[in-house]
Amino acid sequence: MIRSGPRQFVFDLPHRPALGAEDFLVSRSNAAAVALVDRWPDWVLSSALVVGPRSTGKTHLAHVWRLRSQAAGISAGALAESAIHVLQYSRALLVEDLDHGIADERVLFHLLNIAREHNLSVLLTSARPPGELEVALPDLRSRLRALPIVAIEMPDEALLRAVLVKLFADRQLAVEPHVIDRIALHMERSMSAAAAIVAEIDRRALALQRKVTRGLAAEAMAALHNGSEAQS
């Protein structure tokens, strides 16, 4: 009789992402947005808009700006009159995800006016440019289109490789460069995909007590792909 080895229990513990400035990786795809954050508070105008597809690092970069500026933060979908007092108190405000909908357009319009009149700062983020947003208030629509806009593009292969190296290092996983190259070549070009792949590889490596190889990486990526197809 062949006896299997002791079963390895895997605990699905949450992995907290590192969101400090030193953890943000810069490449051609996000350099303009990083330069905007680095220039604060010496912005040309009081407010600015960062636009980019989902899973490109907007949330991380916005968090870096919040730390730098000591800004308060709110989602556009939760905007209310109280946000005006928050901006006046903190002197800087992050308003995220305009593309999810703006709860109170008049409040956002007032926030941009107050920032301009009193030399305060507002950073906004959106997955779509102002011209593609559903904004009913004409004055707000014009104001958003007049803001300085910087774009974050989908991560290039060099950035994805760097992100993968960092994510594996965060989990104390030693991975050969050729494995990193293989993953970066075949994965979806997004930060969320990189995080999901590294998490699945980590889970499998621990459960199977195996090194991270190209084969193990391929198995993890296939499992994630099959799982996403099953849910669609």
- Write the pLDDT tens digit of every residue in 43-84: 999 999 999 988 788 988 999 999 999 999 999 999 999 999
Q: Say what percent of the chain tops pLDDT 70.
A: 88
pLDDT of residue 228: 64
CATH class of 30-151: alpha beta
CATH of 157-231, one of 1.20.1250.20, 2.40.400.10, 1.10.8.60, 1.20.1280.50: 1.10.8.60
pLDDT at 231: 61
pTM metric for this prediction: 0.75
For residues 32-56, one letter each, b for 16 or more C-beta atoms within 10 angstroms of the residue's C-beta and e for the rest, the string is ebbebbeeeeeeeebbbbbbbeebb
Give per-residue pLDDT as tens, 114-155: 999 999 999 999 999 999 999 999 999 999 999 999 999 988
Domain chopping of the chain, boundaries: 30-151, 157-231
Per cent of the chain over pLDDT 90 is 67
pLDDT-based confidence at residue 199 (cuts at 50, 70, 90): very high
CA-wise closest residue to 49 among 140, 125, 141: 125
Q: How confident is the model at residue 230 (pLDDT cuts 50, 70, 90)?
A: low
Q: Residue 217: count other Cβ atoms within 10 Å of its Cβ.
A: 24
* Order of all β-strands in the sheet with 47-51: 72-75, 92-96, 121-126, 47-51, 149-151
